[in-house]
């Protein structure tokens, strides 16, 4: 039978509008790192979860253009900068929850409850065990010191984790000092920035550089990799937590916020609470080696080996506020 | 019941000619306008304010973007011409061992997405890869003791893109060589041309439109490439667009960058067109005989073989083998229950899009043939720009008008009937397939157009003198003659859609993934080995159409005698 496509589309559209026990997610977290826990949520609550994954910026653009008719209920990102951007663009709405306020520390969520952090990721220094004495390391700032000339590897300044790190430094000490620092750091690069965090670790392992700035979960992933070469490379380096005598190591979050257009606010909130729950938190910790956002869930065994650390407790919102400034100053400093 | 008009113009008669063609014209303009909306949306951004971002770009990174993009284009241009034309001539005109296999094997790299070949070679050749590791162990070197070319560099990007894009030049120039009349070549011999001169004086000039078409496809794809250059850390116009947009948060400046990119392409295309001036490349005769292939012996044979083997080995065999090795290591993790679904999604989308793209290309180019006025020519030219635009930009170019349309209807319905229609088109497969058309229609247009120009205008006149209307003419005369070109167009779009990533990523509906998306997600998490499974699947799914493509070309030669 011939079915006119317009009618079909209309029916689908009405179907979407009808309130059902479901929740629609735009997720910058990759499918493999979120779907299993979402399936768990469906089993537990009977709420269907629909998922689109993609780059955070593109998803935010889509959300913005779709406006009040967007089907998305929840925006999930892997850094705070994008959550801040979504809030600024008026794409999120505040949701209040006793549970969330209780388990998630203040500085890991939006002061006005527009978004909540769901896991922590720290950007640290890794060093070649055989060539670097940990006693020579101290802070991010000290990486601009001439003693590290041609010894540091880091990825491109297009990467959001670098942008957030630099934004945090701008927040702490202003644009000028940070730009000065960035110029020094660029002079110390052992090579043109390229590849991902794992590539920086591998470069340290083979001796192209002695230090690298990376997120901890990449190193953990390599240590537990199926590929022998990755494990061997990872074993040649060690983690150094910077700025422990001062503000602490830079920490970013993965997090989520309920969209302004949400039609399943209730379900979205339930999902948020589920993701902040103990079960989901330890799943993040075990599966992707991230640090749980709540204090009462321990990190994975592997991460515990690296010892406890002091985290920078800056209001994470600041990373979003200073992002564009950070990008510009990295451009000026010649950080490719 | 009604009165019979006094004069009934004969169908196809001189009186009715203009009027009969009107509907085609109108439809052509309508379809072109619809498909142009995304590109025009991007162009429209030129006039938006961009608060000082340009000053910043100009003083910091713009020079890099422009010079890197130009070097990339020139490098890829030269490499694809060499890798494409040489083997195409050799396998068409000469006989040497392995020729029959190479004929189709030379197309295989077409199935290999540029970002995947880049991941693979990085895994192989990087400082920590097996090649350098092996060298270090063999000679007892450590890092810094030896020189090794850096794969993640501008030169590396040229190499990667050339290895997967040369098939466009190979494909189209081989088609051209195959279709060249033996008579012309024989005449050149009687005039004293040696085989090499037959190539440089006759074969090459006659194949020029096809070669240029292949080259421009390769170059447009080069400019639109994001995955490879981004992974290699080479700042080009495309990576600049993304950075400006997302890092600096200026979508207007980003759109302006892409508009200038398109302007640049447009100028290139116009220049090429101008340089061709009034030269036309019709065929002199429809009588063909089988091409006599000159056999090669000794070092010439070895050289020809090596020349043809080089791109196949490095563009396909090496990366495919590496993918296979990785895939066997990680097979357990990838081959889940979703894998089958990924394959059906990818194949379904590719098949649907390629059928539509062929239909549209035929419609548009035929419309232009019927009414070759400025309007239709401009329309076809602008439609041809989509291929050079990065997928993400196209996707946003689609999202803007689609969401505007949906939201306007919704607002109107809410006001009139207090009823919300929500989003009708955005977030559906329709939007995605539409974006594919904007992006890949140029591929099918250039293939169909190349076929159509070869049909002498006299054929149309003969058809019309037999009383055929435009539609009948198309069905009875052109389509049968164009069968090869249409199939080529369809298969090219099929393979392209199979590989497409950025637009798919942004526009796809809920719970809908493709092989390319899966590959990207894993590779982006820096799990190259785990990405090998779906990557290999894309390559495998692409091989079948690629082989079909090769058979089509061989058969398209009118004098071809099918051997049983």
List, for residues B171-226, the tens digit of each pLDDT value: 888 878 877 666 677 777 777 777 777 777 777 777 887 888 888 889 888 988 88
List, for residues B405-458, the tens digit of each pLDDT value: 988 998 898 888 888 888 888 888 999 999 999 999 988 988 888 788 878 888
Q: Are B541 and B343 in contact (CB under 8 A)?
A: yes
B/e letters for A306-326, b = 16+ CB within 10 Å, e = fewer, are beebebbebbbbbbbebbbbb
A324 contacts on B by Cβ (under 8 Å): 247-249
Chain B contacts in chain A segment 168-227 (CB below 8 A): 192-199, 202-203, 205-208, 218, 221, 226-227
Cβ distance of B231 and A195 shorter than 8 Å:
yes
* pLDDT given for residue B183 in this prediction: 66
Q: Does B288 touch chain A (CB under 8 A)?
A: no
Residue of A nearest to B425 (CA): A9
Mutate to test the interface with B, among A153, A199, A204, A221 (most CBs of B within 10 A): A199
The better pLDDT of the pair B11, B75 is held by: B75
Q: Are A228 and A295 in contact (CB under 8 A)?
A: no
Q: Does B152 touch chain A (CB under 8 A)?
A: yes
Count CA atoms closer than 13 A to B540's CA, side-chain side.
Answer: 12
Cβ distance of B132 and A206 shorter than 8 Å:
yes
> How far is B511 from B531, CA to CA, in rounded Å?
19
Chain position carrying tokens 């910790």: A285
Own/partner long-range contacts of B471-480 (Cβ < 8 Å, ≥24 apart): B474/B362, B474/B366, B478/B366, B478/B452, B479/B362
Sequential DSSP letters for B477-542: IIHHHHHHHHHHHHHHHHHHHHH--HHHHHH--TT---HHHHHHHHHHTT-HHHHHHHHHHHHHHH
B409 contacts on A by Cβ (under 8 Å): none
Q: Does B428 touch chain A (CB under 8 A)?
A: yes
Our CA-based measurement puts residue B343 at a distance from the nearest CA of chain A, in whole angstroms, of: 17
pLDDT (average), residues B298-323? 92
Q: Are A153 and A191 in contact (CB under 8 A)?
A: yes
The continuous run of DSSP H or E covering A215 comes out as strand A211-215
What integer best gives the mean pLDDT of chain B?
81
Cβ distance of B526 and A12 shorter than 8 Å:
no
List, for residues A308-325, the tens digit of each pLDDT value: 889 998 988 899 899 989
* pLDDT given for residue B290 in this prediction: 61
> How far is B387 from B497, CA to CA, in rounded Å?
12
Q: Are B92 and B256 in contact (CB under 8 A)?
A: no
Residue of A nearest to B330 (CA): A226
Percentage helix, strand, coil for chain B under 3-state DSSP, each rounded to 5: 75, 0, 25
The better pLDDT of the pair B270, A118 is held by: A118
Q: Six-digit token pair at B41?
A: 């949306």
Q: Does A11 touch chain B (CB under 8 A)?
A: no
- What's the N-to-C CA distance of chain A in angstroms? 58
pLDDT (average), residues B344-367? 92
B341 contacts on A by Cβ (under 8 Å): none
> How far is B435 from B429, CA to CA, in rounded Å?
10
Q: Which residues pair with A259 in a beta bridge?
A: A92
Cβ distance of A205 and B152 shorter than 8 Å:
no
Q: Are A269 and A73 in contact (CB under 8 A)?
A: no
* pLDDT given for residue B50 in this prediction: 67
% of chain B beyond a pLDDT of 70: 87
* pLDDT given for residue B312 in this prediction: 95
Q: Does B231 touch chain A (CB under 8 A)?
A: yes
Q: Does B499 touch chain A (CB under 8 A)?
A: no
* pLDDT given for residue B22 in this prediction: 65
Q: Low-confidence residues of chain A, pLDDT below 50?
A: 1-4, 6-19
Q: Six-digit token pair at B405?
A: 């349309």
Q: Six-digit token pair at B134?
A: 């092996």
Cβ distance of A158 and B396 shorter than 8 Å:
no
pLDDT at B289 over 90: no
> How far is A148 from A146, CA to CA, in rounded Å?
5
Q: Does A131 touch chain B (CB under 8 A)?
A: no
Distances (CA, A) of A98 to A103, A104, B111: 9, 10, 53
| Residues ≥6 apart with Cβ < 8 Å to B413 | B419, B420, B421
> How far is B553 from B564, CA to CA, in rounded Å?
18
Number of residues assigned to chain A: 336
DSSP collapsed to 3 states, B50-76: CCCHHHHHHHHCHHHHHHHHHHHHHHH
The better pLDDT of the pair B188, B138 is held by: B138
Chain position carrying tokens 């890949």: B440
pLDDT at B21 over 60: no
% of chain B beyond a pLDDT of 90: 20
Per-residue confidence band for B139, with pLDDT thresholds at 50, 70 and 90: confident
ipTM over 0.90: no
CB nearest to B127's CB, from A62, A66, A202? A202
Per-residue confidence band for B283, with pLDDT thresholds at 50, 70 and 90: low
Q: Six-digit token pair at A230?
A: 């990755």
* pLDDT given for residue B374 in this prediction: 79
pLDDT at B40 over 60: yes
* pLDDT given for residue B483 in this prediction: 82
Chain B contacts in chain A segment 313-332 (CB below 8 A): 323-324, 327-328, 331-332
Name the nearest CA neighbour of B220 among B66, B377, B389, B79.
Answer: B389
* pLDDT given for residue B291 in this prediction: 66
Q: Are A207 and B142 in contact (CB under 8 A)?
A: yes
Alpha helices in B384-478 (DSSP H): 391-417, 429-454, 457-465, 470-473
CB nearest to A198's CB, from B239, B400, B526? B526
Phi and psi (nearest 5°) for A300? -65, 165
* pLDDT given for residue B557 in this prediction: 56
* pLDDT given for residue A227 in this prediction: 78
Q: Does B433 touch chain A (CB under 8 A)?
A: no
* pLDDT given for residue B197 in this prediction: 76
Q: Are A276 and A113 in contact (CB under 8 A)?
A: no
Query: CB A79: neighbour CB atoms within 10 A?
Result: 24
Cβ distance of B422 and A69 shorter than 8 Å:
yes
Q: Six-digit token pair at B57?
A: 């770009």
């Amino acid at each position: 039978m011939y079915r006119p496509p317009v009618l079909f589309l209309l029916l689908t559209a009405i179907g979407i509008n009808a309130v059902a026990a479901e929740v629609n997610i735009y997720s910058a977290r990759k499918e493999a790192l979120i779907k299993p826990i979402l399936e768990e949520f469906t089993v537990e609550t009977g709420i269907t979860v629909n998922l689109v994954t993609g780059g955070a910026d593109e998803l935010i653009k889509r959300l913005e253009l779709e406006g009040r008719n967007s089907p998305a209920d929840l925006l999930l990102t892997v850094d705070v900068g994008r959550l801040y951007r979504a809030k600024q663009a008026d794409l999120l709405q505040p949701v209040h929850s006793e549970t969330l306020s209780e388990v998630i520390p203040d500085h890991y969520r939006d002061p006005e409850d527009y978004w909540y952090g769901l896991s922590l990721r720290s950007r640290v220094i890794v060093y070649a065990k055989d060539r670097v004495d940990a006693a020579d390391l101290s802070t991010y700032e000290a990486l601009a010191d001439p003693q590290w000339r041609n010894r540091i590897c880091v990825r491109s300044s297009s990467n959001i984790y670098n942008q957030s790190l630099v934004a945090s430094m701008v927040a702490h000490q202003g644009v000028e000092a940070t730009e000065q620092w960035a110029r020094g750091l660029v002079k110390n690069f052992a090579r043109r920035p390229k590849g991902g965090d794992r590539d920086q670790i591998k470069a340290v392992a083979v001796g192209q550089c002695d230090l690298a700035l990376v997120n901890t979960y990449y190193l953990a992933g390599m240590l537990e990799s199926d590929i022998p070469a990755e494990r061997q490379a990872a074993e040649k380096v060690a983690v150094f937590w910077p700025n422990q005598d001062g503000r602490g190591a830079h920490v970013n979050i993965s997090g989520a916020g309920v969209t302004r257009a949400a039609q399943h606010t209730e379900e979205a909130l339930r999902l948020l609470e589920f993701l902040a729950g103990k079960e989901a938190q330890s799943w993040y910790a075990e599966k992707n080696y991230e640090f749980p956002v709540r204090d009462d869930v321990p990190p994975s065994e592997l991460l515990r080996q690296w010892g406890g650390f002091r985290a920078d407790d800056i209001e994470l919102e600041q990373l979003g506020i200073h992002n564009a400034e950070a990008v510009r100053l990295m451009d000026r400093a010649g950080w490719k | 019941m009604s009165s019979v008009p006094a004069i009934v113009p004969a169908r196809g008669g001189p009186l009715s000619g203009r009027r009969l063609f009107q509907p085609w014209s109108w439809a052509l303009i309508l379809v072109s306008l619809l498909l142009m909306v995304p590109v025009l949306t991007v162009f429209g951004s030129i006039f938006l304010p961009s608060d000082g971002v340009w000053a910043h770009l100009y003083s910091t990174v713009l020079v890099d973007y422009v010079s890197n993009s130009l070097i990339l284009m020139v490098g890829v241009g030269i490499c694809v011409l060499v890798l494409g034309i040489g083997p195409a001539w050799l396998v068409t005109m000469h006989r040497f061992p392995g020729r029959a296999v190479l004929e189709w094997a030379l197309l295989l790299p077409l199935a290999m997405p540029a970002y995947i070949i880049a991941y693979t070679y990085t895994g192989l050749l990087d400082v920590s890869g097996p090649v350098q590791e092996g060298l270090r162990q063999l000679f007892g070197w450590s890092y810094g003791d030896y020189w090794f070319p850096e794969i993640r560099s501008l030169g590396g990007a040229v190499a990667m893109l050339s290895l997967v894009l040369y098939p466009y030049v190979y494909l189209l120039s081989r088609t051209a060589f195959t279709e060249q009349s033996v008579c012309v070549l024989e005449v050149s011999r009687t005039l004293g041309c040696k085989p090499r001169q037959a190539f440089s004086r006759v074969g090459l000039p006659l194949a020029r439109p096809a070669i240029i078409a292949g080259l421009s496809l390769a170059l447009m794809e080069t400019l639109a490439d994001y995955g490879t250059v981004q992974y290699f850390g080479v700042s080009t116009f495309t990576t600049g667009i993304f950075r400006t947009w997302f890092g600096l948060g200026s979508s207007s400046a980003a759109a302006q960058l892409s508009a200038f990119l398109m302007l640049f392409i447009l100028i290139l295309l116009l220049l090429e067109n101008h340089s061709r001036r009034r030269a036309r490349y019709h065929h002199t005769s429809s009588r063909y005989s089988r091409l006599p292939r000159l056999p090669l012996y000794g070092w010439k044979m070895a050289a020809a073989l090596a020349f043809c083997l080089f791109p196949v080995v490095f563009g396909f065999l090496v990366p495919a083998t590496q993918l296979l090795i990785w895939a066997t290591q990680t097979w357990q993790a990838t081959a889940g229950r979703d894998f089958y679904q990924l394959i059906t999604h990818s194949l379904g989308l590719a098949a649907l899009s390629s059928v539509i793209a062929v239909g549209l290309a035929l419609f548009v180019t035929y419309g232009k043939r019927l009414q070759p006025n400025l309007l239709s020519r401009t329309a076809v030219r602008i439609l041809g720009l989509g291929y050079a635009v990065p997928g993400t930009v196209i996707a946003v170019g689609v999202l803007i008008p689609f969401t505007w349309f949906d939201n306007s209807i919704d607002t109107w319905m809410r006001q009139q009937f207090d009823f919300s229609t929500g989003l009708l088109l955005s977030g559906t497969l329709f939007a995605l397939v539409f974006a594919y058309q904007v992006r890949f229609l140029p591929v099918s247009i250039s293939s169909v157009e190349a076929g159509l120009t070869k049909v002498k205008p006299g054929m149309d006149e003969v058809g019309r003198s037999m009383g055929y209307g435009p539609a009948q003419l198309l069905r009875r005369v052109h389509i049968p003659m164009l069968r090869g070109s249409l199939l080529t167009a369809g298969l090219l779009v099929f393979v392209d859609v199979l590989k497409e990533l950025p637009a798919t990523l942004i526009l796809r509906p809920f719970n809908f993934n493709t092989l390319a998306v899966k590959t990207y997600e894993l590779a982006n998490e820096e799990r190259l080995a785990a990405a090998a499974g779906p990557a290999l699947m894309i390559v495998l799914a692409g091989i079948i159409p690629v082989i079909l493509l090769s058979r089509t070309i061989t058969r398209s030669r009118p004098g071809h005698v099918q051997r049983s």
